[in-house]
């Protein structure tokens, strides 16, 4: 996939659109075994968008929560600009509570009714498509239902992939390391954002690693260099052995099977847990010949197809930029305009050209 090195805005757009495309590709087969996938779609498995949730190109809770992560990060910047103080993971946690409110509503209410019940909550929640339940994870729903204090670690022992699948925007906005090397902002914020719903260290450390890898790639590092840097950060954290072993497994498999067929990645697990999803995503991104090849490989297995597709799409989109994503897939993608607009806003925040005061109604600082 040799090409001109993409700029940061192209990487950000590639990450969000690529993740959503991988999510939409995997959505129809999320709970199918590989044998069932082959029986329905042939030996090569699913290769194009198919019907899910009543339409072609439907996103799932993975993309929904990713968008709320991005929205929360932008709102944190607005809060910092207006108040002079902010804890970004708490603002993102509040964004997840807005997502939770859309998922638990048992009756259809108007946006106006919703906003009367709560403080005006900005632009993202006004998109009715985000109110559709797209297989939301039980861990996320339960943790958010019990959230008493924003920014705290969830009181559960879950290491499910519901944390890692939504954390990419952290790496798009925060650096992989400070100039003096004293801290790793993307890792640290990714860890806190993941932990607000998943209390097991394996779950939130997998999310932290993914956020740092995304950040390193945005900065222009290769995927292998990004993985090495994240592994070094991970070693300083307790209870990281499962995530470390998963990363090692992905690298070992890439050295053994550089040209895989669908099903070869199943030795890494099903992607239902954070470390398995990370291992699958890293392996596929390392061996992918193209964006299409990578996301197809990522979804065709007996596991969490939409989440692994989303992670691989985000990685490859970040590495190569948005113009490697097939136009036919973007054209059919649900909420593509919303995804593109948030990507543009994140890029503006990253470049310090975002006007916080002018955008306060769109992204209120709370």
Extents of the domains making up the chain: 8-42+56-148+159-350
* Mean pLDDT value across residues 46-51: 98
pLDDT at residue 346, as a whole number: 98
- Whether the CB-CB separation of 20 and 333 falls below 8 Å is answered with yes
- pLDDT tens for residues 308-333? 999 999 999 999 999 999 999 999 99
Torsion of CA 283, 288, 291, 296, to 10 degrees: -70
What is the reported pTM? 0.95
Mean pLDDT of the chain: 94
CA angle at 9 for the pair 4 and 15, rounded to the nearest 5°? 90
Look at residue 108 and tell me whether its pLDDT is greater than 50.
no
**What is the C-alpha separation between 339 and 172, in angstroms, rounded?**
14
Tokens 């993202």 belong to: 124
pLDDT at residue 104, as a whole number: 75
* Mean pLDDT value across residues 60-75: 98
pLDDT at residue 112, as a whole number: 55
Ranges 47-51, 120-124, 306-310, 321-325: which has the least confidence: 120-124
CA angle at 64 for the pair 59 and 69, rounded to the nearest 5°? 145
Look at residue 63 and tell me whether its pLDDT is greater than 50.
yes
pLDDT at residue 120, as a whole number: 45
Q: Which residues contact 66 (CB under 8 A, 6 or more apart)?
A: 16, 19, 20, 165, 166, 168, 169, 310
8-42+56-148+159-350: in CATH 1.10.4080.10: yes
pLDDT at residue 128, as a whole number: 87
Dump strand ranges (E) for the chain. 51-52, 55-56
**What is the C-alpha separation between 89 and 78, in angstroms, rounded?**
14
pLDDT at residue 148, as a whole number: 82
Look at residue 111 and tell me whether its pLDDT is greater than 80.
no
**What is the C-alpha separation between 180 and 201, in angstroms, rounded?**
27
**What is the C-alpha separation between 294 and 329, in angstroms, rounded?**
14
**pLDDT tier at 4, thresholds 50, 70, 90:** low
- Whether the CB-CB separation of 333 and 86 falls below 8 Å is answered with no
- pLDDT tens for residues 155-184? 999 999 999 999 999 999 999 999 998 899
- pLDDT tens for residues 136-161? 999 999 999 888 889 999 999 999 99
């Amino acid at each position: 996939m040799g090409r001109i090195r993409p700029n940061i805005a192209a990487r950000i757009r590639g990450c969000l659109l690529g993740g959503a495309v991988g999510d939409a590709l995997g959505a129809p087969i999320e709970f199918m075994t590989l044998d069932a996938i082959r029986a329905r779609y042939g030996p090569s498995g699913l290769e194009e968008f198919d019907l899910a949730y009543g339409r072609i190109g439907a996103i799932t809770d993975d993309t929904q929560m990713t968008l709320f992560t991005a929205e929360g990060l932008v709102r944190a910047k607005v809060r910092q600009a207006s108040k002079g103080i902010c804890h970004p993971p708490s603002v993102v946690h509040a964004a997840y509570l807005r997502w939770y409110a859309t998922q638990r509503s048992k009756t259809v209410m108007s946006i106006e009714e919703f906003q009367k019940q709560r403080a005006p909550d900005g632009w993202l929640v006004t998109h009715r498509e985000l109110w559709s339940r797209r297989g939301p994870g039980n861990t996320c729903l339960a943790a958010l239902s019990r959230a008493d204090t924003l920014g705290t670690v969830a009181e559960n022992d879950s290491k499910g992939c519901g944390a890692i699948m939504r954390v990419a925007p952290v790496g798009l906005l925060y650096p992989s390391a400070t100039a003096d090397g004293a801290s790793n902002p993307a890792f640290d914020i990714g860890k806190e954002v993941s932990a607000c719903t998943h209390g097991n260290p394996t779950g939130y450390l997998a999310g932290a690693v993914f956020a740092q890898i995304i950040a390193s790639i945005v900065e222009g590092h290769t995927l292998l260099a990004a993985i090495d840097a994240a592994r070094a950060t991970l070693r300083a954290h307790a209870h990281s052995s499962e995530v470390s072993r998963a990363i090692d497994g992905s690298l070992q498999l890439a050295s053994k099977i550089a040209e895989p067929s669908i099903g070869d990645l199943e030795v890494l697990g099903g992607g239902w847990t954070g470390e398995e999803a990370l291992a699958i995503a890293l392996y596929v991104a390392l061996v992918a010949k193209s964006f299409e090849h990578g996301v197809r490989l990522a979804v065709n297995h007996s596991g969490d197809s939409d989440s692994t597709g989303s992670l691989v799409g985000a990685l490859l989109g970040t590495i190569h930029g948005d113009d490697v994503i097939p136009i036919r897939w973007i054209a059919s993608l649900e909420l593509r305009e919303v995804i593109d607009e948030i990507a543009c806003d994140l890029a503006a925040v990253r470049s310090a050209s975002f006007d916080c005061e002018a955008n306060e109604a769109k992204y209120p600082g709370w």
